[in-house]
Amino acid sequence: MAHLSRWLSGQRLEPIELSAKQIERFLRHRRRAGYTCWLSPRGLEPILKYLRDLGVVAPEETPCITATAIDTVVERYLQYVREERAVTETTANFYERIARAFLGRSGELAGLNAANVTSYVLQESRVCSVGSAKLKVSALRSLLRYLYMHDDIAIDLAASVPSVAGWRLTASPKALRPDEVRQLLGGCDRRTHVGRRACAVVLLMVRLGLRAGEVAALELDDIDWSGGELLIRGKGNQRDLPGPRQSVDDLLVSHRRA
């Protein structure tokens, strides 16, 4: 919104003059400026709706802003990863951001080549961590495989995606030492509901190796108190029933105290 405001001021335009033609001019300017997000008319819809509700922008034109060719491809790709690959909604949203950023920066599908792929990966690798860059590279390969399989591009560019340099054991260990775990648990005030809940959360992650999101998704019906089992909703909507019994017993004790 700030960028749009500056652009309108620089063009000596009033908000009421923000027509579909002017919106497309702004989006071209935004792409040339190197932005990687909100590069399509659809990306501006929340801002435009807000401004129209205030009455400072003209009502939506008829026909309304149509989706670009890239929008159409991205929507097809999202349907594919949701239905065929059964990814979670969080993962699908991440894939969408990468797809729009890459395709919006590269322009037309017909012009995609290995140089576009390498340039994008190098740019992203400079501004994010190794772990984040690896996730973006994985999402980019998924997109390029899809585009090739569905004849959106003539060459399989997935193989041209460079790997992100990152080796095991080169970073500081991520695991906590036993004394650190005890100290962490000791910081949970079990005399309170919040403290007992925090203690149960830490025990689940330490004893069972659960991700934070998996713990947060747990519901009471997912806990088999008598059988000592937990129903875990993992990646790709997979469901697992992990042991060991001791960890579930610890959770049960915390629950009973609550």
CB 61 within 8 A of CB 17: no
**Domain architecture of the chain: domains with CATH:** 2-54 (no CATH), 69-160 (1.10.150.130), 178-257 (1.10.443.10)
Taking 80 as the threshold, does the pLDDT of residue 182 lie above it? Answer: yes
| pTM score of the predicted model | 0.48
The predicted pLDDT at position 78 comes to 92
The predicted pLDDT at position 148 comes to 92
- Crossing angle, helix 41-54 and helix 20-32, to 10 degrees? 130
Taking 80 as the threshold, does the pLDDT of residue 153 lie above it? Answer: yes
Averaged pLDDT, 66-87: 85
| pLDDT tens per residue, range 205-246 | 888 888 888 888 888 888 888 887 888 877 655 665 555 544
Averaged pLDDT, 154-171: 78
242: closest CA among 256, 223, 255?
Answer: 223
Strand partners, 233: 239
- The terminus-to-terminus CA distance of the chain in angstroms comes to 47
The predicted pLDDT at position 242 comes to 54
What phi, psi does 229 have (nearest 5°)?
-125, 150
CB 39 within 8 A of CB 31: yes
Residue 43: pLDDT band (50, 70, 90) is confident
Strand partners, 229: 224
| pLDDT tens per residue, range 1-30 | 888 888 888 888 888 888 878 888 888 888
CA–CA separation, 109 and 63 (whole Å): 25
